[in-house]
């Protein structure tokens, strides 16, 4: 029993087709079994490969092409926007840290110069 589907005592998805049962559930159960097998064998990269195959299949059919392109572009656009926001935040935080360090060094240097000039005047 996978994905809540009873495979009728070991029947494969091809057996279901031979019995004129054109339900998508046995095919999905078989595909999920293939993905699980490859995930155990090859690791999590199998999920990425399965997702790429599904996207390629959906892009190959004209009725699903527009929806698939819209979803993929929305996901890519969201990831790019997230990366831009993170990069901007890291850049601003890094520059503010550098500015604070430089301001601290400037004030320390100014105090050191004033003290050095005062010492030189007092020794004369």
Domain boundaries, the chain: 1-60, 80-124
Q: Which residue has the higher pLDDT, 59 or 16?
A: 59
CA dihedral over 12, 37, 46, 82, signed as positive or negative: positive
pLDDT range class, residue 50, cuts 50, 70, 90: confident
pLDDT tens digits for range 62-114: 888 999 999 999 999 999 999 999 999 999 999 999 999 999 999 999 999 99
Say what the pLDDT of residue 36 is. 87
Rounded mean pLDDT of 25-46?
84
Percent of the chain with pLDDT over 90: 46
């Amino acid at each position: 029993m996978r994905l809540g589907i009873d495979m009728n005592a070991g029947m494969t998805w091809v057996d279901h087709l031979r019995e004129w049962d054109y339900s998508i559930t046995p095919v999905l159960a078989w595909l999920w079994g293939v993905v699980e097998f490859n995930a155990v064998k090859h690791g999590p990269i199998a999920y990425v490969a399965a997702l790429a195959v599904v996207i390629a299949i959906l892009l190959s059919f004209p009725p699903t092409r527009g929806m698939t392109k819209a979803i993929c572009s929305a996901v890519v656009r969201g990831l790019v926007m997230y990366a831009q926001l993170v990069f901007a935040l890291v850049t601003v935080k890094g520059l503010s840290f550098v500015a604070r360090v430089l301001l601290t060094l400037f004030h320390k240097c100014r105090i050191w110069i004033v003290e050095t000039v005062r010492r030189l005047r007092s020794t004369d």
